Amino acid sequence: MDAMTTTSTEASVRILDNYVGGGWMPSSSPEALPVTNPATAETLARVPLSSSADLDAAVRAAREALPAWRAVAVIERSRKLFLLRHALDARREELARSVTVEMGKTLVDARAEVARMIEMVECACAVPTTMQGRILEDVARNVDAETVRQPVGVCAAIVPFNFPAMVPFWFLPFAIACGNTFILKPSEQVPLTQQMAFEMLDRLDLPPGVVNLVNGGREAVEGILDHPGIDAVSFVGSAPVARLVYERAAKAGKRVQALGGAKNHMVVMPDAVIDKTVAGIVGSAFGAAGQRCMAGSVVVTVGEAHDRLLPPLCAATEELTVGDGLEEQTDVGPVISERARERIREAIERATHDGAEAVVDGRDPGGDLSAGAYVGPTILDGVRPDMEAARKEIFGPVLSVIRADSLDDAIAIVGRSRFGNGVSIFTENGAAVRRFRHEVEAGMVGVNIGVAAPVAFFPFSGWKDSFLGDLHAHGTDAVDFYTRKKTITSRWFSSGQGSGRYFVEN
């Protein structure tokens, strides 16, 4: 819908505020988009498309807050995160419902997302340990060398629609734990859950400007990339925008990490434990209606695995219930928008035209689902690696099945993808796993795990077109990303311990 186009019902719903300098304030932009429940097409709110003036106000607040926040003792910063963890935990069910209502995923998926969001805060609480530097005495006689970590400055994150609660928290708690100040630009499709998170942040009594929320779309993003007052940018979203963000932020001299799209393969060996493998594949391909960056979207069957896997996989898929994610019996919720539904249906259409067979076809899921953006789970058999269905990210509940003759063949098929986010292997054969994990070209590997998304304490990110940058999200990489290293070499002439030659004496 055009940014300025609103129906009378939409006009009556609340327009969301930004959170800047410790308080809620309206955007100065007259432009706003409807935020829609994809299960019902109901308009939930309107999100402003903030202008560069709105962003500028947030950057000013974040810069002003920086010296005072940086000076807060690291253990006090960590204690603020303890309080945040407590606040999030107290409202976890409300947060999960918000995720379901604005994004569409089932409550089970949304609860798991909120649990991972909270885990990020728990991990960031360890900052008095993880932010420690290193020291080596006597690099020359009576000369010590020491590396300390200091905050980078004002950091911003630009995030996608598919994890409204968790993905912003891959960044926010780690950034502020390390003494940075922070600006979040949520997805304009799902801005509501972060309004709740910022209500909780507001009650922590952080110095004004430590955390800021600027709603918006492309203009706000471009403002972040170009703004001289922003030192570091984290991005999560589609591959083309990740490239744009990476190039433009780097050109402006910023530290940048850009996590992009994916096409995740799941390799099934002939000896896989089939019932558990089917459950893992179904959860991976169709959970969150296939809209996870770690969703398995291609199954590569090795040899006779194809004939063992396909019948029970199709049967399990046909049993899935499509519906509103708020209903406890729903297995597959809607996709994010009608536009997404049409794009996904067209991708299935093209795959069948290219020669694939829709052995489970979800294009018309049936039932009373006409109001929402529903696509049923779909399995495309007979896909070849050169087909679009094998190469392009569909980002919906569509699973392509490719046959391989051997493990070598399967590893080569995975390696041909331009993406390298997650990959899984299902087998009980340790030697096959050793080969696979050593040779496969991806950043995250699952062994008999359908969604191998690392816990908060490990780094998250792909390879190849799935990631541009070097430091990954969360884990200790987050502390590396959010700190600058400073190395001090020192000696004291009056210490009575003598003095050796250090480099060139003068």
Cβ atoms of 157 and 163 closer than 8 Å:
no
223 contributes a contact to ligand NAD by CB under 6 A: no
- In the region spanning residues 448 to 467, those forming contacts with ligand NAD, defined by CB under 6 A, are 462, 466
429 binds ligand NAD per the rule CB under 6 A: no
The smaller minimum CB distance to ligand NAD, of residues 99 and 278, is found at: 99
As a dihedral over the C-alpha atoms of residue 333, residue 336, residue 341, residue 347, rounded to 10 degrees, the angle is -100
**Cα distance between residue 394 and residue 470, in whole Å:** 26
* Alpha-carbon span 233 to 254, nearest angstrom: 7
Q: Is 35 in the site for ligand NAD (CB under 6 A)?
A: no
Q: How far is the CB of 133 from ligand NAD (least distance, A)?
A: 29
Place of tokens 């209500």: 199
Q: Residue 21 and residue 135: Cα distance in Å, rounded?
A: 37
What is the side-by-side order of every strand in the sheet holding 378-381?
357-360, 378-381, 398-404, 296-302, 264-268, 422-426, 444-447
Smaller CB distance to ligand NAD: residue 142 or 291? 291
Out of 48, 168, 261, 290, name the contact with ligand NAD by CB under 6 A. Answer: 261
CA distances from 477 to 152, 210, 299, 417 (A): 14, 21, 30, 26
Annotate each residue in 169-198 with x if it binds ligand NAD (CB under 6 A) or - if it does not, as one string: ----------------x-xx----------
What is the number of alpha carbons within 13 Å of residue 317 lying toward its C-beta?
30
Q: Please identify, using beta-carbon distances, which residue of 151 and 290 lies nearer to ligand NAD.
A: 290
Minimum CB separation of residue 95 from ligand NAD in Å reads: 18
Question: Distance of CA 137 to CAs 140, 141, 156, 411, 493, Å?
Answer: 8, 9, 37, 47, 15
- Annotated catalytic residue: which of 125, 155, 178, 293? 293
Q: Which of 441, 401, 403, 408 is nearest to 422 (CA)?
A: 441
Q: Does 377 bind ligand NAD (CB under 6 A)?
A: no
Residue at token pair 């799902």: 190
Distance CA 177, CA 154 (A): 13
* Contact status: 477 vs ligand NAD (CB under 6 A): no
Site for ligand NAD in 386-415 (CB under 6 A): 393, 395
- Is 260 an interacting residue with respect to ligand NAD (CB under 6 A)? yes
- Tell me how far apart the alpha carbons of residues 461 and 442 are, in angstroms, rounded to a whole number: 9
Whats the size of the chain, residue-wise? 506
221 is an interface residue for ligand NAD by CB under 6 A: yes
Tell me how many residues contact ligand NAD (CB under 6 A).
27
Residue 293 appears among annotated catalytic residues: yes
Which one, 161 or 171, has the nearer CB to ligand NAD? Answer: 161
For ligand NAD, the nearest residue by Cβ is 237
To the nearest whole angstrom, how small is the minimum distance from the Cβ of residue 298 to ligand NAD?
14
Scanning residues 266 to 325, which ones bind ligand NAD (CB under 6 A)? 293
Q: Does 262 bind ligand NAD (CB under 6 A)?
A: yes
Question: Which of 191, 217, 334, 475: binder of ligand NAD (CB under 6 A)?
Answer: 217
Residue ranges binding ligand NAD (CB under 6 A): 158-162, 167, 185, 187-188, 217-218, 221, 236-238, 241, 244, 259-262, 293, 393, 395, 421, 462, 466
The catalytic site residues sit at 293
